[in-house]
């Protein structure tokens, strides 16, 4: 195991993970850089149940290209096929050329996207906790996927179904609803995908 980081959840549980995993979080990365490495990093706002889910995500994403933010610039050292031995692979130009044509990289990224989509197929309360944790710990990819998970819960549902899912009350009067539908009257079928 390489260098590890110790994290303490809000309810006092200790998690020891590799640097590459923990450093998916920009916050943890900057805290670890700051002072001595033996200390544990407390994360009071994340409880153990959520932190273990977050670390599961980070483990999968460590040493993988970030699929959501930098798709075009996968460095060749992260490619499953190439092992960084290609000449001139360090320049950013050849990295982007590499990722666009490299089938192995593309497949790896697609597999990761599939995994991510499965990961956020969970109940909305868990997605909410993941959103808050991703925001608090500044984990870009997890933020993206948690938002996608919440959006996915909404997609294709009518207003009443959405209200049930999110536990919301309909605070429109029938007149207000009619007004809103009138605003949409310029469209042929606003509710038809």
Contact between 187 and another protein per CB under 8 A: yes
Length of the chain: 193
Left (φ > 0), alpha (ψ -120 to 50) or beta: where does 86 sit? beta
Task: Pick out residues in 103-132 that bind another protein (CB under 8 A).
Answer: 124-125, 127-129, 131-132
Q: Which stretch binds another protein (CB under 8 A): 15-23, 66-74, 82-90, 155-163?
A: 155-163
Q: Which stretch binds another protein (CB under 8 A): 59-67, 96-104, 105-113, 154-162?
A: 154-162
Cross-sheet strand order for the sheet of 41-43: 14-18, 4-9, 41-43
> Rounded CA gap, 75 and 97, in Å?
10
Q: Classify strands 4-9 and 41-43 as parallel, antiparallel or unpaired.
A: parallel
Q: C-beta of 135: minimal distance to another protein in Å?
A: 7
Who's near 90: CB < 8 A, 6+ residues apart?
Answer: none
Left (φ > 0), alpha (ψ -120 to 50) or beta: where does 84 sit? left
Task: Pick out residues in 4-43 that bind another protein (CB under 8 A).
Answer: 10-11, 26-27, 30-31, 34-35, 41-43
Interface residues with another protein (CB under 8 A) are 10-11, 26-27, 30-31, 34-35, 41-45, 47, 124-125, 127-129, 131-132, 135, 138, 147-148, 150-151, 154-159, 162-163, 166-172, 177, 180, 184, 186-193
């Amino acid at each position: 195991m390489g260098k590890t980081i110790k994290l303490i959840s809000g309810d006092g549980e200790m998690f020891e993970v590799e640097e590459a995993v923990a450093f998916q979080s920009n916050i943890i990365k900057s805290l670890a850089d700051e002072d001595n490495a033996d200390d544990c990093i407390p994360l009071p706002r994340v409880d153990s149940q959520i932190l273990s889910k977050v670390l599961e995500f980070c483990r999968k994403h460590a040493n993988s290209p970030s699929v959501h933010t930098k798709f075009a610039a996968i460095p060749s050292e992260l490619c499953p096929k190439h092992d960084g031995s290609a000449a001139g692979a360090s320049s950013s130009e050849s990295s982007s050329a590499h990722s666009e044509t490299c089938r192995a990289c593309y497949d790896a990224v697609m597999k990761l996207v599939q995994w991510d989509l499965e990961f956020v197929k969970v109940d909305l309360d868990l997605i909410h906790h993941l959103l808050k944790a991703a925001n608090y710990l500044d984990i870009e990819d997890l933020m993206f996927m948690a938002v996608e998970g919440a959006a996915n819960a909404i997609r294709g549902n009518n207003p009443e179904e959405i209200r049930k899912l999110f536990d919301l009350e309909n605070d429109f009067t029938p007149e207000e609803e009619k007004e809103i539908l009138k605003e949409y009257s310029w469209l042929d079928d606003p509710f038809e995908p």
